[in-house]
Amino acid sequence: LMGQLSFAEEPYLLAIRYNPKMGIYYRNLAALYGHLGRGEDQISVLERARNEGISERWLFWELGFAYWRKGDLRRAGEIYREGLSHDPEDLDMANALAQVLLYKGETYRAGEVIERGLKGNGGHVGLLLTLGLLRVQSGDREGVMEVVRKVRASDPHTGVYKDLGKLCRAIGEWEKAVELLERYLVGNPQDVDALNELALCYARMGKHKAALEGYKTVASIDPCHPGLKEGIRMLRRMVTSD
């Protein structure tokens, strides 16, 4: 299959050569490079499209993410900001920019982007979750819980409950985190990240047996999960001493 994918590269290169303003060829070739694990080539072809004057939304979205995946947060932020300049009302793009700024430690600038976005749509779940992360970093526990309450009131899709649970776990609201993570896991019982978060909450609540069972479930799905063996050994000692 990988050989067949690689063979498909040449037709796209020829199509771009003869139709350099046709964005779909760049997009498909970039997707091909992504499947092949050729991240630098993916960035290169997307930058080539940008230099040709192509300014469709997908270009900034996918190029920004490609730089983010590479670890080049500075460039990812520049691309997201450029995309946002073409459509200031694109709140998903604004949220991506805010997350990049937050990961770079530029909390004030991230807050500005979030504030502008929420003025346009105060119920945008992605921006609210990023606001929650910002408040975690600043130690604003009540501010985090305000975000959790507001997002829950919007009746979000199930996947959001994992993010809400992680926000609560980050500020030590163990019981609330357990409630939210368990709700998420009803529909996603194999999510090792959520299972690990839940086990951690149980451990911090002193429910060592429940935590140990949680870690065992993680081990049955992903035996190489980071820190798993150490966590199980520690909890076994705690269960024995309880």
Residue among 179, 183, 178, 185 nearest 199 (CA): 178
CA 158 from centre of chain:
15
User: Distances in Å between the alpha carbon of 142 and those of 1, 104, 111, 160, 218?
Assistant: 52, 24, 17, 19, 31
Distance CA 235, CA 237 (A): 5
Residue among 125, 94, 124, 123 nearest 111 (CA): 94
* Predicted pLDDT of residue 5: 61
* Predicted pLDDT of residue 1: 44
Looking at residue 205, what DSSP letter applies?
T
pLDDT digits 0-9 by tens, 133-146:
999 999 999 999 99
pLDDT digits 0-9 by tens, 82-117:
999 999 999 999 999 999 999 999 999 999 999 999
Q: Can you read off the two tokens belonging to residue 242?
A: 């309880």
User: H or E stretch including 240?
Assistant: helix 228-241
* Predicted pLDDT of residue 231: 79
Q: Can you read off the two tokens belonging to residue 205?
A: 């609540």
Residue among 8, 56, 69 nearest 36 (CA): 8
Other C-beta atoms lying within 10 Å of the C-beta of residue 63: 25
> What residues of the chain score a pLDDT lower than 70?
1-6, 241-242
User: Distances in Å between the alpha carbon of 186 and those of 158, 191, 195, 213, 224?
Assistant: 9, 10, 11, 16, 24
* Predicted pLDDT of residue 108: 97
54, amino acid identity: I
Domain boundaries, the chain: 191-241
Residue among 170, 228, 175 nearest 202 (CA): 175
Owner of token pair 């899709």: 157
